[in-house]
Structure 1
């Protein structure tokens, strides 16, 4: 009997010890749970989730004035909106549209509306005007003569060889009384539309990007203003003849693929290009050689 009581007592003591150990472990785990609850690993995750990723816009442009406007004025405006602008500078008029069509660019800024139209017709690019920005009045320059009246009969006139530019050149010459075009051709004439050439001028198309260097080879060279400025020529001061900006259809535009024209980043880029900051920059820097069109 005594042994049985001793056995029962021993068993009771063992049970009490096990309960005490279990309670001790429960008390020790409580601080760990509180510590785990106090930790905030999720805060770091939430912070990363809330961080806004910078959108990158790739834009093609010719150097002057387009890339200057983009880099000096537009890029800082877009940076404030979380958009990083990457500008690729081109020296020709062919690659910016080709690269945009192929997806290497998000937009481009270098061309006027008639050129954009002709490129779409020729290559089926499907590019659209997103915003009109400025006009670059085209001028005629000479290394041989100081006045348009000094041009001799039979003078050689060099001009850009693009189809969209030929009519522009002829319209400029007609506006100065140097030739007469067939009625109604406007800015879309060709040399075949000349009905009166009293001075027997000769015409030669030259790749636009080389005209500013090659104009010494002709008596008069009609040069796109972006290339003239890049070569240190001032249309307002150095040209013998210059387009009037009024009713000028050659507005330089921001262009994008039709499918992407309403992209938020593209629209913000368009807004920045039509901002007061860009207008003031154009007026101050280019002194009438480039004219805002908005």
Structure 2
């Protein structure tokens, strides 16, 4: 009897020790975050900070702006962080996806680039202009071209791009919509190319120095977000990741790594229409 009691006590002590070891270690939960190449430096920092909180982040890179949302909806990844809320809203409506943002991150100003001209005023008549063909990206590009004084759009322009929405084109510019990722590569063949910030950085540009015209406070509607499936926006770990992201240490890292070409923008979701 005494021997059995001793064995029971030994087993009890062992179970307590094992339980203690399990609770003191890091979480076994791995969160897969989808992003494109330009977001990797930020999320490498996020991996370090999250690990300190017992959260393992696995980065899943995509080469386009379509698959990250589809992968999120399909459950192949848990979060994504690569897009503006404007693009996100349009995409989930078009594809009928049940996704939602959980946090704002930064503004990545879009710019006009040229390897032939140093100012938009120098552009001759009838020249070619490359711009991203995705509806929200094109809309953003058209607004930038309007701000640069090259075209005029209707007063009720809704931000979704289409060449036929241009009201005035005094220089008779010829517009060539192409996939956003290709906009830097066509620079030798066009007068100017309107390039997304992340794409420009991947191509080796420093937007604040190399763009001949760049967004300023008009970029406010184009705040980037972290997105999740709509039924998991309150997931404790995902909320913790959002909290970690919106720290000054991450903001400083963004400014340093991207040479102030990205603007950390941590605002409530209500401010971006959610």
* TM beyond 0.5: yes
> What residue is the counterpart of 2:167 in the other structure?
195
Shift of residue 215, structure 1, vs aligned partner: 2.4
Go from structure 1 to structure 2 and tell me whether the alpha carbon gap of 1:247 and 1:152 turns closer, same or farther (over 3 Å shift). Answer: closer
The answer to whether structure 1 residue 45 and structure 2 residue 15 are counterparts is yes
> What residue is the counterpart of 2:32 in the other structure?
58
> What residue is the counterpart of 1:89 in the other structure?
61
State whether residues 206 and 259 of structure 2, in contact with CA within 8 Å, keep that contact through their aligned partners in structure 1.
no
**What is the SS of the residue equivalent to 1:196?**
coil
Shift of residue 249, structure 1, vs aligned partner: 0.6
The answer to whether structure 1 residue 231 and structure 2 residue 203 are counterparts is yes
Q: Which stretch of structure 1 is more off in the superposition, 182-191 or 277-286?
A: 182-191
Q: Within 5 A, what are the aligned runs for 1:1-294?
A: 32=3, 35-36=6-7, 40-50=10-20, 51-52=22-23, 53-64=27-38, 66-71=39-44, 73-185=45-157, 187-246=159-218, 248-294=220-266
**What is the SS of the residue equivalent to 2:150?**
coil
> What residue is the counterpart of 2:269 in the other structure?
none
Provide the aligned C-alpha RMSD in A: 1.7
Go from structure 1 to structure 2 and tell me whether the alpha carbon gap of 1:259 and 1:145 turns closer, same or farther (over 3 Å shift). Answer: same
Structure 1: 5+ residue stretches without partners: 1-28
**What is the SS of the residue equivalent to 1:119?**
helix
**What is the SS of the residue equivalent to 1:159?**
strand
Q: What TM-score, normalized by structure 2, do the two folds share?
A: 0.90
State whether residues 41 and 257 of structure 2, in contact with CA within 8 Å, keep that contact through their aligned partners in structure 1.
no
CA distance in 1: counterparts of 2:28 and 2:139, whole angstroms: 43
Higher helix share: 1
**What is the SS of the residue equivalent to 1:158?**
strand
CA distance in 2: counterparts of 1:138 and 1:222, whole angstroms: 7
State whether residues 135 and 245 of structure 1, in contact with CA within 8 Å, keep that contact through their aligned partners in structure 2.
no
Deviation per residue, 1:216-239 (Å, 9 max, x gap): 221110011101101110111111
> What residue is the counterpart of 1:24 in the other structure?
none
Go from structure 1 to structure 2 and tell me whether the alpha carbon gap of 1:139 and 1:131 turns closer, same or farther (over 3 Å shift). Answer: same
Shift of residue 34, structure 1, vs aligned partner: 6.9
**What is the SS of the residue equivalent to 1:255?**
strand
Q: What TM-score, normalized by structure 1, do the two folds share?
A: 0.84
